[in-house]
Chain A
Amino acid sequence: MTRKLNLLLATGLTSLMLLSPAFAENMLRVSYPEDPKSADAQMTTDFYTLPLNIFDRLVESETTGPGQSALVPGLAERWDVSDDGLTYTFHLRKDVKFHNGAVLTADDVVYTFDRMLNPATKALNTDILTFIAGAEERLDGKADSVSGLKALDDQTVQITLTKPYAAFLALLAAPGASIYNRAFTEAAGDQFGLTPETTNGTGPFILRDYTLNDSEMLEANDDYWRGRPKLDRLLIRVVSDPDTLRMLFESDEIDVFDMDFAPTQTPYFYGADQWKDHIVSGPRVGIYYYNINQLKKPFDDPRVRKAFQMSIDRQTILDKNFYGKGKLEDGVMPRGLRCYAPAEPIAYDPVKAKELLTEAGYPDGVEINLQQVSSWSSRWSDMNQIIQAQVAEAGFKAKIITTDEAAYLAARKAGDSDAYTQVWSADFNDPDNFFYTFFSETGSKTRGYNNNDPEVFAAIEKARGMTDPAERCKLYQDLTARIVDTDAAWVPLFSLDHSFVVQPRVKHFIVPWNGWSDMSYYNVEVE
């Protein structure tokens, strides 16, 4: 009965707040294109707004400038790394309280990571923790605990890795590594994160109302260890229709208009006198690329690959398909990523490309296949049509092949896919997230590159364990030249900007370092 009454009150409260502008004064109203489905960060790989505002992590990735970030202490006030790079000791902050009043201890951290690796949880984010000793055994159900996770005392957690991994700290700053309270989470079971009553974190906001497919209401945590947030409330509304979203924004029912949710509105907002000065934009740490499969003739010849790189007019695609809001990329790392340095520019030169094709034995041009997936958005097929026309000038007779997603993934996994275009956004701020995914021995095969360069494979493995940051970055920059320039293993296209339009009353709104739609609203204020 009490629960029902609470629910009724909460719903009534939400309705009242939405209806009355007086209540809306210190509330930020944002939108999401679909229901985030859970606040539990272990159960999602892409809806992170709730976890980023309700929970904290041991280490946080703080946005320090457009596309720039730094790893800063979170729930751990400091940490030590052993000389061999295998043991991480985290010293937790004292007196950090969960929303239910429980005090954070080292046991909570051990519990959280063990829960993620426990097969009964069916977690989706386990990749973050597979470097921990004993993680694989736990995932496979061969162990009841994770040997590499230890609470030395109430305030100290020790994590041991199977091998040194330089990006481990960056991984711990990912939203998936949010820290939960043992007693509460165990009691909530599989309901954790699904309702306000079964959600509990240490973060700046407390989940107060969750109406599936409608909205989530968060309230400021008065006892937050970094100080109370400036906002009293944060309302996240689920709005799936882009035109409705724009009307909501223009009728002042939403404070932030995320152009990612309605890209076709980009020219309108950039052209509207009322709004163009209220656009906040930042780089997205993600790279659009064209895959080249070296097992598919004629791409076995580096000259053909080079010719393919040079025959695509990337600036035109960026201008025509993405309203020019982005920057050309020439390497493997997009701007904003740790270790990023501008790479040797790839020139658009169809004449030179034609010469290279002739040199490679294709004076009359050569047939190639470009693959796309029927269920993907039209963005990809539009790009393929432009590219098909562009590369024809150099002599590539490109045929566009459309398959379903299952066929594409199966072919890719077997290393047998045709060339395709896609985008990769950083999960965490480390070059390993890009190099390992595409050009390591496993990545190169399963993503359909087959760039079987043993030196590249060895260097990527080596970089994972390197402890000197400067030396490590240098290695990644050298690898970029080798992969893109010498091997011509892929075609980097561009990275995009992520633009938001905000109501004039919103202050301190910045695009997070990774350019995501998901962000912490801790520093945002409304007037």
Chain B
Amino acid sequence: MMKKTITYLVIGMLFGITMFKSEAASWFRIYEMFQFDAFHMYGIIGSALAIGVVMVQVIKRKHIKDTTGKEISFSPKDMSISRYLIGGIIFGLGWGLAGACPGPMFTLLGAGFLPILVVIVSALLGTYVYGLLRNKLPH
């Protein structure tokens, strides 16, 4: 239990450090990305993705197991257009405005930018309101 917790903590720390040092947690980099003014963000997402695609293929074909001995499996996502497109656009509007997505916002909190707490609490509120309206929204 303790060992597992430390593992997750270290993975999170690696993620947090990477988000900060890559500047993917910087509002300015997100703005620059949406302005198509630099390759930086596209390079980060693109290289992560290129490696990720190969990684998933290798894991599937070689039936690689996780540390518990279970074969690593991937559950396909339910198909829909409205849900992903509308939800995606709403998320994108927030991403462009606040300049942080749900990982980096916590990195920024650790880096000491306290106003990001307003963004985090509002994101919780947004999640809650989605939960309340879920049955009335097209999915």
Q: A and B from one assembly?
A: no
List the interface of chain B (C-beta within 8 A of A).
Answer: none
